[in-house]
Structure 1
Amino acid sequence: MINVKEYIESGILEDYLSGNVSEQERREVDCLSKIYPEIRTELDSLSDTIERFAFANKVAAPAALKSKIMAQLTFADDEPETQVEQLVEEEEDNVPVLPLNSRGNSFQWGWVAAASVAALVGSVVYFNARLDTLSTTVAQQQTEIKVQTTQIAQLNDANNQFVTLKGVEKSPSSSVRVVWNPKTQEVQLSVLSLPTPSADKQYQLWALVEGKPVDLGVFDVSTAFQKMKTTGQAEAFAVTLEKKGGNPTPHLEELYVMGKVAG
């Protein structure tokens, strides 16, 4: 029987989700996640965290993307004109035939001409609107593809470390997820569960570096990923409740969650 706690904290689940495992390790995680509910729960939680992390770091498409897409779009040269002509012909088929000696003939034909022009203008506006809608749709699709490509690149970064900070004695049900990249030194966190603080209080993230706490900034209680201060080293991460704006040193009696960095 394996030690489930040690297995989860080994980092194998993070590697599994990012694709940095061997085929044998992949099969092992698949098997153990079916046997042990704790592993399945942690795997689902990590998966949700990675998805929200990727979404929070999506990159907007360049402003010139729409123009590039439009330049690549091709349409049949005569498509708009052909459809406009068909509309005009339909209008002409519906025009009443009047005797040449009818009184007010020129007046009625003036209305017929005006109706035909209105139909022509309306059809041009309609097709222009369709073209604009099509270009917008294509631009959106291109943006989504770019975002997905960026997300995949981020998730496949082997330097990403996902650290779960679990509740201590003061707040056992609390939990925070930290994503740390030692190479870029970027740190982000997402609150899984923390009590809502009073208006004059704020949670503060700390990195334990060579046994000393290093301030990584204050944050709000939100499931969305929040960027914190950077750090190139960390043995563990912890969260304390401090005065609004934070403190230079942590109040350990207000420690809520803590988690060690794997390895």
Structure 2
Amino acid sequence: MINTKEYIESGVLEDYLSGNVSEQERREVECLSKIYPEIKAELEQLSEAVERYAFAHSVSPPASLKEKIMAQLEFKEEEVQEEVSTEDETPVLPLNSRNNSFQWGWVAAASVAALIGSVVYFNAKVDTLSQTVAKQQTELQQQTQQLQQQTELVAGLSSVDNQFVTLKGVEKSPSSAVRVVWNAKTQEVQLNVLSLPTPASDKQYQLWALVGGKPVDLGVFDVTGSLQKMKAIPQADAFAVTLERKGGNPVPTLSELYVMGKVTS
């Protein structure tokens, strides 16, 4: 929300009408005049005042300009009279009556050009605003979905069937820790990173379930403070995390084992 009174008194509207503004300021004036009626009204009043001033101080074209134009068109009064039928009662305007029409023609042309330019800029601004609104709506939808997912994950923590398994750091990274929430009844697995080193851009951590001594892939995850839903598993004796190439590996790299924890019966 802007202070429209201060904005109007800043002089930017006068600069806009005189063309003495940057491209960003021009777009700002056009946008705000669509949003705030008081700015639009002030802009219209200033525009009318400028137009009245232009008409009041208009300069008549030099007489020589008329002669040059007429010479190029090869107009002669005798030819004009010969081309007019004697039965036509439409009055023929004398050439000196064209002065005012000539001046008004220039003004009309300039007004039309200005109107076309305003329409083009307005349409461009509308397109930009539409794209911005669409982008914001998409981002809002994504944030809403993420919030809903987090809400569902947190709500699932209250189940009495949940088992909380803390994976502690091994020799490679003693200070690391990860917590796994596993529900054997629903087979759902959730993971929360408590402490893990930030991996290189081409690396990613991967969660494994140990079933009968064999590793089962439960998916890769990022180092964030939020709960992350992993692949489901119906049975597990332990869980472990290794650092693998981005996207994960079909088998764990044991030399890159960071944390491990057993499931209590």
TM-score, normalization by structure 2: 0.45
Q: Which has the higher contact order (CA 8 A, sep 6+)?
A: 1
Instruction: Answer with 1 or 2: which has the greater Rg.
Output: 2
